Structure 1
Amino acid sequence: MAVATYGVLDAHDKVPGILTIDRDPSPLASPAPGVPSTTATDGSQASRVVVPTPIPPVARSAASSGAPQPAAAALRSALAPALADPRLGRSVGLTVRDGMTGAHLLDVAADQPRTPASTTKLLTAAAVVPSLGPETRLRTTTVLAPDGRVVLRAGGDMMLARGPSRPGEVEGHAGVGTLAAQTAAALRSAGRTTVTLGLDTTYADGEDYAPTWDRAYYPEAIVGKVATLGLADGLVAPGRPGPADPAGEVAEVLRSELGRAGISVRGDLVRAAAPGGSRPLAAVSSAPVADVMAVALARSDNAVTESLARQAAVRAGAGGGFAEVARWVQAELARRGHDVTGVRLVDTSGLSKGTEVPARLVGDVIVAGTSGRDPGMARVVEDLPVAGLSGTLAGRYVSGPAASGAGLVRAKTGTLTGISSLGGTVVDADGRLLAFAVLADGIPSSSGTEGARAALDALVARLASCGCR
């Protein structure tokens, strides 16, 4: 029991350990004005996810397209003390780039592959969002089979509401209750009030658990089952594992909601592909893929990230296995012009051991968004957690040397035993937008998770407070 408890704390970054979830370290923190938040449908504050507006007011007013670019020599001098902080150890890769031109301002061992932990999700987002399309919506549908069976067809949405659709939110944007009401209306129009129920999960099908993940990760709420159909309140949260059968849970909610709508559902659930000749009944659609990915990054949700990557890979003609999807992400990054030398992806979420990435590549994909070269990645960067305000950075940059970065840094975090990483953007003292990536994978045990984070945050905050000319 003690080992399991330690594993959960480790996964949620409360103690040092091999696991990574990177959840919001301060779930009770209130979002800033204009930064909407969503909570689990059970009202749990522990699972709050804050999705920032495209640019928070403080960053919008600070950034300026006419601001001067920092000088490389001055930047190196300003960051040298922070890079030498013993809490970061001796294995640090750093790249600092001009956010508008992509010019390399400072590189420190930036080509050496290092373990990025959950910062891996930035690479996945850089492949998935542009490939699927930022505005693409994931459709969950019902069809009427020739034998009178209503078949629920998965379409990739793992964030369905149990009841009515909530169009103003990402989690629960599409609701099973709304799908049931529309389905019931179509059935009554066809003169049917009694049906059987089927479930078709053949869309982007694959294993629900990676062979490289410890089997204990699921009961410890470190990762949920990877699926293409699920409920928003089934996403894992501290102390709350996900359902063993996400798609089956949605089917049972649909059964109940159809009953409420006056349609009697008899017999057991039939799991099979919808037969030829089935007629459409109803459909509900998720929030845009870019917004779904934003929630996955804000929560650092491994299962949602893997699900989106699998859908993109399958649509592109690759296989749906974890290793196949990881290979597709790497190939897609290369196809989009990124240098993937030294990259080794074991999965697409950063949960598995063995993934290695140079800081340079993390910087490359961020610049693709900040420079406007890749509109899909621009959406990803805009929606990254904001220092002191949202997601996994809500409780960071709120005091001490890092406080100068509050509201000005937005980044994806990564944490494993001996590893701390950040990749994102910062507005410097002159108003220039900079892109950065820093991977430290030799953190001494004496630093601990909190010490390493404090050192990393102080380094990035130095970028915010330095004009460096």
Structure 2
Amino acid sequence: MRFKKLWWGVTAGVTAVAVAAVAGVGVLTQQRYADLEHAPAYAVERPEPKIVPAGAEDGVDNAALAAELTRLAADPALGTLHGQVTDTVTGEVVWSESPDEPLLPASSTKILTAAAAMLELDPVHRLTTEVVAGDVPGSVVIRASGDVWLTEEQIDDLAEQVGQADTVFIDTSVWSGPALMEGWDAADIDGGYVAPMEPAMLHGARIGATEGDVPRSHTPALDVAQALADRVGADTVGEGSAPPGAEVLASTESEVLAERVEDMMVWSDNVMAEAIGREIAIHRGHEPSAEGATTATLEVLAEHGFDTTGVTLNDNSGLSTGNRIPPRLLDDILHTAATAEGEELRPILAALPVAGGTGTLMDRYQDMSGRGWVRAKTGTLTGTSALAGVVTADSGRVYSFGLLSNDSAILPARAALDNFASTIRES
């Protein structure tokens, strides 16, 4: 079953629940107020059609919106701002400022990763981590698959399948290349933003927690081996190779790709993004490293008609300070996802955080008109703030946008970007 069927089925289910809730309220109201006498409903004559500004279509005045966005873009809090806003109904670029000139994108890079994953991979694909018999009697080997989402419950299940063992090894050969990418700061491991990229982790290598930006382990794969060893009574833990053709003793599966992409987008998880990038690389036959992942990501996008001119990627998460992306590409991906031609990309829109509601936008837009109407991927590094997503205007028109602010203080730039998106909502 393709994910688009699963996705629209879930959407239909949510809609049905909402309709059922309204219907339930209606029944209770009828029971409570059935005997209430009231006057006939007040009727208002149909008003004359409102005056539509010259150049506006169906009451949508993109020229006025462009003028207001140009004014907001001049806010000094935004530092160097490059961006693009597109009317997804007409395809008109409503506003732009140096859209083809790349800037440091921070975590808005994950839009490229998510798009390439949805275009290249099966949305219901799962990663399978196996435990096989080792060469030495009493030893077992975990054959890592790139699943960085492993849970304690999954380790419990693997242990139950394995039984007892004296030694637990873990085979990490499914990935290659450096564990830390170019442009990363090793301090970010203890800061909770990333972990050494090894193809097996418990809860993204978080220490003492299952979510959030908490300190991460410096030895994530060995931690998985130790967790299994603790459960099967093994005294020895280490890295090792799974024997060819070894008997499979136990296995566990990840969530489907679409759910992993959504988690990565909503919470801007760098570890998840890097793991998904390597998944793309493996599927295309590239080296399962950061270099292979970024090469594969750009190849997929180019093959599907996206102009990747000016893009420099050192990683798939946006943590690298060497990444550069023109905001036009961010907007083009989101615009395509919002059109009839973008069915494969449409789940990305649902994965975007909701302003004032979910993920990295949960605590933003609290008193802004964009609250609940803006869905966007955030991005934050020192001197960099990004916002790229879609917003439904008061007119009902949907706009896509990609905004990159460099050389700016984070909090003032973030507030200015939120105001910018909220202004689109008010149009």
Same fold, TM-score > 0.5, yes or no: yes
Q: Kindly tell me the number of residue pairs found equivalent between the two proteins.
A: 374
Q: 1:375 to 1:182 in 2, by over 3 A?
A: farther
Query: Is it true that 1:450 corresponds to 2:375 in the alignment?
Result: no
| 2:205 match | 234
Percent of aligned pairs with the same amino acid: 34
| 1:75 match | 65
Distance 1:449 1:68 in 2: 38
* Cα offset, 1:195, TM superposition: 4.8
Query: Is it true that 1:462 corresponds to 2:423 in the alignment?
Result: yes
The counterpart of 2:316, out of the listed 312, 330, 348, is: 348
Distance 2:242 2:74 in 1: 60
The counterpart of 1:99, out of the listed 74, 83, 88, is: 88
* Cα offset, 1:213, TM superposition: 1.6
Equivalent pair of 1:146/1:277 in contact (CA under 8 Å):
no
| 2:142 match | 152
The counterpart of 1:115, out of the listed 87, 99, 104, is: 104
Q: 1:374 to 1:136 in 2, by over 3 A?
A: farther
Distance 2:342 2:251 in 1: 31
**Cα distance per residue 1:163-200 (max 9 Å; x no partner):** x2xxxxxxxxxx2112222333xxxxxxxx55532212
TM score, norm. by length of structure 2: 0.80
Equivalent pair of 1:419/1:441 in contact (CA under 8 Å):
yes
| 2:195 match | 224
Distance 2:90 2:141 in 1: 51
Distance 1:388 1:242 in 2: 28
The counterpart of 1:214, out of the listed 161, 173, 185, is: 185
Distance 1:442 1:435 in 2: 24
Q: 1:194 to 1:246 in 2, by over 3 A?
A: closer
| 1:15 match | none
Q: What is the one-letter code of the residue matched to 1:414? A: G
* Cα offset, 1:391, TM superposition: 0.9
Query: Is it true that 1:177 corresponds to 2:148 in the alignment?
Result: no
Q: 1:69 to 1:279 in 2, by over 3 A?
A: farther
Aligned residue runs from structure 1 range 305-384, under 5 A: 305-384=273-352
Q: What is the one-letter code of the residue matched to 2:183? A: T
Deviates more, 1:269-278 or 1:329-338: 269-278
Distance 1:374 1:145 in 2: 47
Query: Is it true that 1:143 corresponds to 2:128 in the alignment?
Result: no
Query: Is it true that 1:422 corresponds to 2:422 in the alignment?
Result: no
Distance 1:69 1:336 in 2: 34
The CA RMSD over aligned residues, in Å, is 2.6
Distance 1:76 1:214 in 2: 39
Distance 1:347 1:239 in 2: 19
TM score, norm. by length of structure 1: 0.73
* Cα offset, 1:457, TM superposition: 0.4
Equivalent pair of 2:192/2:216 in contact (CA under 8 Å):
yes
| 2:23 match | none
Equivalent pair of 1:204/1:311 in contact (CA under 8 Å):
no
Distance 2:59 2:306 in 1: 24
Equivalent pair of 2:282/2:288 in contact (CA under 8 Å):
yes
SS of residue in 2 equivalent to 1:405? coil
| Consecutive unaligned residues in structure 2, runs of 5 or more | 1-9, 20-56
